[in-house]
């Protein structure tokens, strides 16, 4: 009788699988971000005891966390019991010009939504709704604290997005820029800071823009910006803009809803106006960047949305009376520029 050969034990594959599926990593990064460990190390390495006192942390536990993160090049043990920053850990400083700290401070309701991914894979419905019994945006409307935390996460890559969009087009030609769904206004404030003659309009839900005045005051652009509360899904978009920015907005919504947003923008803009879409996208079903595929999966989980290909972007633009002018690939996201047909 033939006997089945036992499979060869592929130790590297096992170790790699454990590394790829390590759900502990993002939560450990989140914990050290909450303790502001990277900020304490900005001036150089510190002994674990001193670092724990500065962060109000338990020294043995903090040491274990940093040694674990050092295996992923996040922090470095430069000497026994002494830790310093690595290039990746440096990005976790709150004062870094391209700080990624807030990205890891997503509200717990969002991370809990991942528990329902099997429901999403079976039905195509958002895991957030399945786990919490309510849509993400409706939840944030009822729980402003979670909404503010999510808004900070979305602002976490604003500096990198600004660099991307500046390289994609000549923004000095625009007198007024309307940031549709612009959250707390950080992106618009940074843009206005680059162009002293530019004026801006921030448009988002009332609870979302509540903290925007503080953002604009800190940036010194209050006299050049107007805050208009409203929903881009149901309300009229502010008119008079030379450029309308949709930054990480449309991939959260269905084609019908996204087309509706673009139609409202088309009704508000002049024939010479421009629309800019900045979000992860796909060249085709088969060709996509790792970042686009990650965002595609994330938006599917949170809102049953997802990244679109250029052809799909053209289709929703055409449905709103707009046409694609240029699609510029940047290290961050592709930047799509469109104009009225």
Angle at alpha carbon of residue 245, lines to 241 and 246, rounded to 5°: 135
Q: Check residue 329 and give its pLDDT.
A: 82
Higher pLDDT: 324 or 291? It is: 324
Please, which pLDDT band fits residue 281 given cuts at 50, 70 and 90? confident
Evaluate if residue 298 carries a pLDDT over 60: yes
Cβ contact 199:228 at 8 Å: no
The structure tokens 């274990």 sit at 64
Higher pLDDT: 301 or 65? It is: 65
C-alpha pair distances (Å), 20 with each of 25, 64, 156, 189, 205: 10, 20, 24, 38, 38
CATH for 116-340, among 3.40.50.150, 3.30.70.890, 3.40.50.2300, 3.30.420.40? 3.40.50.150
- As a whole number, mean pLDDT of residues 218-222 equals 93
Which pTM does this prediction carry? 0.78
Cβ contact 338:317 at 8 Å: yes
Sign of the C-alpha dihedral, residues 13, 19, 20, 23?
Answer: positive
Separation of alpha carbons 83 and 75, rounded Å: 7
Q: What per-residue string of b and e applies to 62-86 under the rule 16 or more CB within 10 Å gives b?
A: bbebbeebbeeebbbbeeeebbbbb
Assign 310 to helix, strand or coil: helix
Separation of alpha carbons 113 and 122, rounded Å: 15
- As a whole number, mean pLDDT of residues 144-168 equals 79
Evaluate if residue 93 carries a pLDDT over 90: yes
What architecture is domain 11-104? Answer: Orthogonal Bundle (1.10)
Q: What is the CA radius of gyration of the chain?
A: 22
Q: Check residue 321 and give its pLDDT.
A: 96
Assign 334 to helix, strand or coil: coil
Q: Check residue 260 and give its pLDDT.
A: 95
Sequence spans of domains, the chain: 11-104, 116-340
Q: Check residue 217 and give its pLDDT.
A: 93
Q: Using the 8-state DSSP alphabet, how is residue 35 labeled?
A: T
Cβ contact 282:288 at 8 Å: yes
C-alpha pair distances (Å), 116 with each of 127, 131, 153, 251, 292: 5, 6, 21, 20, 21
Evaluate if residue 1 carries a pLDDT over 70: no
Evaluate if residue 55 carries a pLDDT over 80: yes
Burial classification of residue 217, based on how many CB atoms lie within 10 Å of its CB (0-12 exposed, 13-18 middle, 19 or more buried): exposed
Strands 76-79 and 82-84: antiparallel
CA 219 to the chain's CA centroid: 21
- As a whole number, mean pLDDT of residues 93-117 equals 89
Higher pLDDT: 291 or 283? It is: 291
Please, which pLDDT band fits residue 307 given cuts at 50, 70 and 90? confident
* DSSP H or E stretch at residue 200: strand 199-204
Residues with Cβ within 8 Å of 331's Cβ and at least 6 positions away in sequence, in order, are 160, 164
Q: Check residue 88 and give its pLDDT.
A: 95
- As a whole number, mean pLDDT of residues 183-187 equals 89
Residues with Cβ within 8 Å of 31's Cβ and at least 6 positions away in sequence, in order, are 65
* DSSP H or E stretch at residue 164: helix 158-168
Angle at alpha carbon of residue 96, lines to 218 and 280, rounded to 5°: 90
Residue 171 has which token pair? Answer: 């923004």
Q: Check residue 287 and give its pLDDT.
A: 59
- As a whole number, mean pLDDT of residues 48-76 equals 96
Residue 226 has which token pair? Answer: 């107007």
Separation of alpha carbons 132 and 129, rounded Å: 5
């Amino acid at each position: 009788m033939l006997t089945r050969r036992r499979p060869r034990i592929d130790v590297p594959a096992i170790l790699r699988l454990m590394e790829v599926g390590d759900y502990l990593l993002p939560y450990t990064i989140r914990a050290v971000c909450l303790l502001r460990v990277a900020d304490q190390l900005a001036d150089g390495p510190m002994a674990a005891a001193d670092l724990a006192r500065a962060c109000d942390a338990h020294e043995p536990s903090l040491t274990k966390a940093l040694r674990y993160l050092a295996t992923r090049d996040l922090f470095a043990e430069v000497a026994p019991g002494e830790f310093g920053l690595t290039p990746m850990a440096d990005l976790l400083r709150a004062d870094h010009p391209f700080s990624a700290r807030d990205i890891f401070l997503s509200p717990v309701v969002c991370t809990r939504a991942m528990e329902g991914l099997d429901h999403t894979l079976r039905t195509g419905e958002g895991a957030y709704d399945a786990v919490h019994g309510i849509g993400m945006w409706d939840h944030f409307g009822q729980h402003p604290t979670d909404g503010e935390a999510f808004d900070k996460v979305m602002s976490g890559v604003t500096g990198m997005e600004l660099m991307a969009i500046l390289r994609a087009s000549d923004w000095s030609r625009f007198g007024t820029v309307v940031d549709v769904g612009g959250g707390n206004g950080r992106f618009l404030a940074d843009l206005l800071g680059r162009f002293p003659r530019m004026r801006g309009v921030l448009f988002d839900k009332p609870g979302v823009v509540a903290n925007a005045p503080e953002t604009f005051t800190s940036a010194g652009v209050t006299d050049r910006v107007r805050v208009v509360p409203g929903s881009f899904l149901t309300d009229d978009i502010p008119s008079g803009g030379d450029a309308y920015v949709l930054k990480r907005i449309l991939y959260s919504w269905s084609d019908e809803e996204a087309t509706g947003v673009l139609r409202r923008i088309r009704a508000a803009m002049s024939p010479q106006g421009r629309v800019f879409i900045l979000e992860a996208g796909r060249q085709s079903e088969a060709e996509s960047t790792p970042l686009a595929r990650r965002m595609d999966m994330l938006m599917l989980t949170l809102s049953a949305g997802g990244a679109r290909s250029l052809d799909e972007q053209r289709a929703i633009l055409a449905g709103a009376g707009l046409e694609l002018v240029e699609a510029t690939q940047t290290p961050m996201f592709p930047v799509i520029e469109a104009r009225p047909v």
